[in-house]
């Protein structure tokens, strides 16, 4: 299959213009054996070039916003791309949408500290999106053992809807918070506690300032 990726430059000063953790280094350090990848909150598919480099098979991308989804379809071909948000239950919900940061800071949660940290990024629009659980959507759950998730504070809700899928996950990367960047967003300790019964332990954390960062979890690590 033809798989192409267009490299997209992020504007500086936004909440997400780069991956804080180097996936290539993590792949080598933890000798990752990825059978399949679920990218939840894929935006424009920027990381797909890294997945190409690492030759990850069986990729699936989720992106709920129409504008982002249209760009994602152009940037990533040959893999399933689903226009959907993931959460703890099936529902429709309005998403807070910004454009100054290419929509990367858009969230199902109302922005809070984000407005103070990045005052040039406003959220003037709302878009109704469809939400379902990963367990409902994913048929062959054992095909995928790596989740990369960027959902702006909604991480715990996604995980609550993935209790069966998580049994097959060996690696998980996600954004984490230690302050209320978005209203009622989950904190890093809540994600740690939720994932521990599935054998997933946080082994890497990198912070951007004092409020948010990226974390990497591996099954079976002490």
The string of pLDDT tens digits covering residues 120-134 is 888 878 999 999 999
Cβ atoms 154, 129 nearer than 8 A: no
Cα 67 to Cα 17, 70, 73: the distances in Å are 18, 5, 10
Using only the alpha carbons of the chain, give its radius of gyration: 16
Ordered DSSP codes for 155-200? HHHHHHT-TTGGGG-SEEEEEEESS-SBTTPPPHHHHHHHHGGGTE
Mapped onto helix, strand or coil, the DSSP state of residue 66 is: helix
Q: Which two tokens stand for residue 49?
A: 């070039």
On the CB side of 5, CA atoms within 13 Å amount to 16
With tokens 């504070």, the residue in question is: 153
pLDDT given at position 119:
83
Q: How far apart are CA 141 and CA 154, in angstroms?
A: 21
Q: How far apart are CA 102 and CA 37, in angstroms?
A: 24
pLDDT given at position 221:
67
Name the CATH superfamily for 35-219. Answer: Vaccinia Virus protein VP39 (3.40.50.150)
pLDDT given at position 111:
87
Cβ atoms 172, 216 nearer than 8 A: yes
Q: Which two tokens stand for residue 184?
A: 């009622």
- Torsional sign, CA 177, 18, 25, 199: positive
Cβ atoms 9, 202 nearer than 8 A: no
Cα 118 to Cα 28, 37, 94: the distances in Å are 34, 31, 22
Q: How far apart are CA 44 and CA 49, in angstroms?
A: 11
DSSP 143: G
pLDDT given at position 222:
53
Q: How far apart are CA 46 and CA 72, in angstroms?
A: 9
Model pTM score = 0.90
Regions in the chain scoring below 50 on pLDDT: 1-17
pLDDT given at position 7:
37
pLDDT given at position 102:
78
Structural domain boundaries in the chain: 35-219
């Amino acid at each position: 299959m033809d798989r192409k990726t267009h490299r997209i430059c992020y504007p500086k000063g936004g909440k997400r213009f780069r991956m804080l953790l180097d996936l290539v280094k993590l792949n080598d350090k933890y000798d990752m054996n990825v059978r399949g990848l679920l990218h939840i909150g894929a935006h424009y598919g920027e990381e797909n070039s890294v997945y190409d480099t690492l030759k990850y098979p069986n990729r699936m991308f989720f992106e709920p916003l129409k504008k982002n989804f249209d760009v994602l379809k152009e940037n990533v071909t040959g893999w399933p791309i689903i226009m959907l948000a993931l959460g703890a239950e099936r529902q429709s919900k309005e998403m807070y949408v910004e454009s100054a940061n290419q929509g990367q800071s858009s969230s199902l949660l109302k922005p809070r500290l984000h407005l103070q940290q990045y005052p040039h990024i406003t959220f003037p629009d709302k878009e109704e999106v469809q939400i379902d659980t990963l367990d409902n959507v994913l048929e062959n759950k054992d095909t995928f053992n790596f989740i990369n998730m960027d959902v702006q504070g909604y991480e715990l809700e996604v995980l609550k809807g993935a209790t069966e899928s998580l049994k097959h996950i060996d690696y998980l990367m996600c954004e984490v918070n230690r302050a209320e960047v978005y209203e009622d967003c989950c904190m890093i300790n809540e994600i740690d506690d939720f994932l521990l019964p599935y054998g997933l332990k946080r082994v890497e954390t990198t912070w951007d300032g004092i409020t948010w960062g990226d974390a990497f979890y591996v099954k079976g690590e002490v």
